[in-house]
Amino acid sequence: MAEDLHEIVARALMLDREAITDDLKYNSIPEWDSVAHMALIAELEASYDVMLDTDDIVAMSSVGTIREILKKYDVEA
Amino acid sequence: MLKPDLLAGRVALVTGASRGIGAAIAKGLVAAGATVWLSARTLGSLDAAVESLNGLGAGEARALYFDVADPAAIKQAFGTIQKADRRLDVLVNNAGILKAAMIEMASVEMMDETYGVNLRSVLVASQYAGRLMARNGGGSIINLTSIMGAQGFAGQAVYAASKAGVIGATKSLAKEFAGRQIRVNAIAPGAIDTALIEGLSDEKRQETVSSIGMGRLGTPEDVAGLSVFLASDYARYITGQVIGVDGGMVV
């Protein structure tokens, strides 16, 4: 079982796990700006052992879409 | 000159490593103990270099064949490194082409080819390197620019433009990556005795040498020394710099 996505997002954005939902959107909170997005991408790649396409990194606009996009990489987050 | 364990445990990628400056840089990094992926386009062109580097009794050399002009191939190459080593500490963007042409005679195809190999490859490789390096707490990206990038040269507008672009990329990436402890610097060689300037006439060669304060052409090893330094912890607080290796051509 892969590590929980909310856990990873919380760690990368330095937020409490309770603050993370699938509806949370990129750039909707100060903690998830473009710099934090890069930290999140690095965390996702390391945790799930994948190498994301640039287009997918740009498309990861919410926790929910991240979960969807990861399926393309055979990751059930 | 180098401590054999200076880069022990570090993983590096050197593009355009089959000859000239790239080959010398790969050798310098292996001699300092690093595991080095040498890359080139032509299948088989790295075999001799890899074998001889693995005989140094220092680091390790491996061949990786791909075309830096192809972004998909760059991605695949980084995937190979990620799978094998799970880390990257040093990226040397060295692969480059130089086609001299007066501007009126430079074709659009030649412009695009030069831009693709000399500049876009640096940007694309940095996308993947940045993420891979960030995982292990940082790294060093070394971009090869040219004295022509900052100074210009008649008959080299296309090449010089691509190399000036490398300087802009270096400084921007240094700022963007600093927080992730990834250093980005550029090396600006002057006239180095490699295949790239072999085409010069004796007269032109003499003229070039006379413009060099130290009175000789540079060698690929002259450039490799700086690369090893920039890759190492000795350079741990140095980023965003363009350092000339030109024997006093530009001071």
Q: What pLDDT, on the 0 to 100 scale, is given for residue B159?
A: 95
Closest residue in A to B76 (Cα–Cα): A51
Q: What pLDDT, on the 0 to 100 scale, is given for residue A2?
A: 65
What is the number of structural domains in chain A? 1
Q: Do the chains contact at B75 and A53, CB–CB below 8 Å?
A: yes
Q: What pLDDT, on the 0 to 100 scale, is given for residue B138?
A: 96
The mean pLDDT value of chain B amounts to 94
Distance CA B148, CA B135 (A): 35
Query: Is residue B62 helix, strand or coil?
Result: strand
pLDDT tops 90 at residue B130: yes
pLDDT tops 90 at residue B36: yes
pLDDT tops 80 at residue A53: yes
**A76: in domain:** no
pLDDT tops 80 at residue B5: yes
Contacts of A45 in chain B (CB under 8 A): 131, 135
Distance CA B78, CA B126 (A): 10
Q: What global pTM score does this model have?
A: 0.92
Nearest to A51 among B75, B130, B134 (CB): B75
pLDDT digits (tens, 9 = 90+) for A58-67: 999 999 999 9
pLDDT digits (tens, 9 = 90+) for A3-44: 799 999 999 999 999 999 999 999 999 999 998 999 899 999
Q: What pLDDT, on the 0 to 100 scale, is given for residue B146?
A: 95
Query: Is residue B113 helix, strand or coil?
Result: helix
Query: Is residue A56 helix, strand or coil?
Result: helix
Domains and CATH numbers, chain B: 11-245 (3.40.50.720)
What is the average pLDDT across B81-106?
Answer: 94
Q: Do the chains contact at A51 and B179, CB–CB below 8 Å?
A: no
Contacts of B75 in chain A (CB under 8 A): 51, 53
Residue B195: pLDDT band with limits 50, 70, 90:
confident
Q: Are B111 and B61 in contact (CB under 8 A)?
A: no
**A15: in domain:** yes
Q: What pLDDT, on the 0 to 100 scale, is given for residue A9?
A: 97
Residue B135: pLDDT band with limits 50, 70, 90:
confident
Domain that holds residue A63: 5-71
Counting runs of H as helices and runs of E as strands, what totals does chain B give? 10, 7
pLDDT tops 70 at residue B208: yes
B128 is an active site residue: no
Pick the catalytic residue: B115, B159, B234, B237?
Answer: B159
Q: What percent of chain B has pLDDT over 90?
A: 84
Specify the CATH number for the domain of residue A39: 1.10.1200.10
